[in-house]
Structure 1
């Protein structure tokens, strides 16, 4: 039984936004003013910037009780908070004087009650919402939270609708008017000392830490920050730096493997090209040997493309060009006596003499 779970707070905030729709000057009914079921949030037919006045018309609000009220835009005028000694009711119509003991007050509005003379001694400074300046509103009546151990006390149990992982559930908030360090037991109606860590409990209000665990014993306060041993920080630091350096080394080895693979590909390509070049040279050598081995070609002009010692000349090292012009061949000097006059003319042209036309 916690004071106000986060889920309950969010649900209440949502309900606050869902105010009425009637604007200033429009008709409304004060009989519709109520606390929403489950959240006990005040609701009226008027919108967030107005309240339902006694004339049945929505009137602009005259005060506010929250530091950051809902329903106002950046350019809207926000009403002021009430000065010290006054309070703004749920309707937020106007500031009113604090209510004395046994006076009427609204649900959970401890701030509406007048503080006791020793309010500094009774005031709740834990932030748990036990009281406001030593005053508490229980069952719509203002009281002082000054009941001592074993004295009769007043208790108020309010059931709120909350929502969790498993769905909707009832969250009961139990409050009393006992002195700090005590709680009002609903079964006996007496103020009892709060229980220590590890004691059996049935509600959060019974524990000094205000945390009754599901195991039925008082646990440490949920508001206390968790402290870890030094070795935990050391292990976490080693893990962080180890992860950083491990990532760097993993990237380094991965990239090095990729570089090695690329280098092997280039080396394989060079080997293939070199083997191809060697094959070309071998083919040329084979062609040369075949030509020289032909009968009568020992002194052929074809042999001039090779050196005398059998090695390739400089032209042999030149690249093979597909469109290179063919060099002159010795075959065109081949003499064939076929008895035709074209042979004589050809011979005369090659020797630089004119053919005999019969004039000499």
Structure 2
């Protein structure tokens, strides 16, 4: 009972923290209470998800003027969400208007890589782990182009979630500014090191080229598409052809066997008819011979 009670209590506290902003449009608010939720790191203010606060003291919750997601949270079907920002600009967590992307060294909001301006040669170090080669670590914009052996920056973020049984689960996300996925930032050396190939020993996902460390070994991520080798195609085709040939041969043999059985049945029938015909002829011949013999005796 105590486990259920504390589990429900933890779930209630987590939900209350996530839903802290409940003031609707036109309500009184203050930006001094803006913060990130300690568990989910979601931006929370006095206002609801469709509004932002206009001032630090005696502010007013106003309708948001921009959005960062295609389908923002908090808007129903009839409501028209605010527009997306144009390329080269971004919508902050507050949603109070589009802003120009920040150059390296400037401030950015947590894990908002798209707030950082891209480099001229962003194609050389862009990857799915950053935004056109730019990354936001410790709320500072920088390029993810650190080379092997050079100092690097690590940003560890812990997310907390509540399971169905009320137990708290934590997920740690590690990000760095090394050239990914070829390099990673060593936890101890704080230097960019070569990423490890499949089958190599590892401690965290970030050390592997595929960013997936399972039981201390770099493994293929579960979302990786299955790659079929050419020899597997050849073996599969040969098996299919072999099965088709075997099926045809089996059907041919069965057909021949049925024809042989039918031929034997017909042959036995014809032979029986011939024997019957001969018997009838012999009976007629015997009867005729007996009649002639009796006539001569008379």
Distance 1:32 1:121 in 2: 41
Greater C-alpha radius of gyration: 1
Show the counterpart of 1:178: 178
The alpha-carbon distance between structure 1 residues 98 and 187, as it changes in their structure 2 partners (threshold 3 A), is same
TM-score by length of 2: 0.67
Where is the strand percentage greater, Structure 1 or Structure 2? 2
1:94 aligned to which of 92, 97, 121: 97
Give yes or no for contact 2:25–2:51 (8 Å, CA) kept in 1: yes
Distance 1:37 1:17 in 2: 9
Give yes or no for contact 2:17–2:37 (8 Å, CA) kept in 1: no
Q: How many residues align?
A: 218
Give yes or no for contact 1:15–1:41 (8 Å, CA) kept in 2: no
Give yes or no for contact 1:104–1:140 (8 Å, CA) kept in 2: yes
Give yes or no for contact 1:19–1:48 (8 Å, CA) kept in 2: no
2:123 match: secondary structure: helix
- In the TM superposition, residue 168 of structure 1 has moved relative to its aligned partner by 2.1
Check if 1:61 corresponds to 2:64.
Answer: yes
Trace 1:1-360 onto structure 2 (pairs within 5 A): 18=19, 20-54=21-55, 56-124=59-127, 127=128, 130-163=129-162, 167-180=167-180, 181-213=182-214, 215-226=215-226
Question: Which string of whole-angstrom CA distances, capped at 9 and with x for unpartnered residues, describes residues 43-89 of structure 1?
Answer: 11111211111151101101000100111122212100000110000
The alpha-carbon distance between structure 1 residues 16 and 108, as it changes in their structure 2 partners (threshold 3 A), is farther
Distance 2:36 2:49 in 1: 15
TM-score by length of 1: 0.56
The alpha-carbon distance between structure 1 residues 189 and 195, as it changes in their structure 2 partners (threshold 3 A), is same
The alpha-carbon distance between structure 1 residues 199 and 165, as it changes in their structure 2 partners (threshold 3 A), is farther
- In the TM superposition, residue 143 of structure 1 has moved relative to its aligned partner by 0.4
- In the TM superposition, residue 225 of structure 1 has moved relative to its aligned partner by 2.6
- In the TM superposition, residue 133 of structure 1 has moved relative to its aligned partner by 0.6
In structure 2, runs of 5+ residues without a counterpart are 1-14, 240-298
Distance 1:165 1:145 in 2: 38
- In the TM superposition, residue 18 of structure 1 has moved relative to its aligned partner by 3.1
- In the TM superposition, residue 30 of structure 1 has moved relative to its aligned partner by 1.1
Give yes or no for contact 1:16–1:41 (8 Å, CA) kept in 2: no
Give yes or no for contact 2:158–2:171 (8 Å, CA) kept in 1: yes
The alpha-carbon distance between structure 1 residues 162 and 193, as it changes in their structure 2 partners (threshold 3 A), is farther
Distance 1:73 1:65 in 2: 17
2:218 match: secondary structure: coil
Give yes or no for contact 1:22–1:28 (8 Å, CA) kept in 2: yes
Distance 1:62 1:190 in 2: 42
2:217 match: secondary structure: coil
Show the counterpart of 2:280: none
In structure 1, runs of 5+ residues without a counterpart are 1-13, 235-360
- In the TM superposition, residue 227 of structure 1 has moved relative to its aligned partner by 6.2
1:57 match: secondary structure: strand
RMSD: 2.7
Distance 1:106 1:20 in 2: 19
Give yes or no for contact 1:42–1:90 (8 Å, CA) kept in 2: yes
Distance 1:30 1:88 in 2: 17
Deviant stretches of 4+, over 6 Å: 14-17, 227-232
- In the TM superposition, residue 122 of structure 1 has moved relative to its aligned partner by 1.3
- In the TM superposition, residue 19 of structure 1 has moved relative to its aligned partner by 5.7
Give yes or no for contact 1:211–1:218 (8 Å, CA) kept in 2: yes
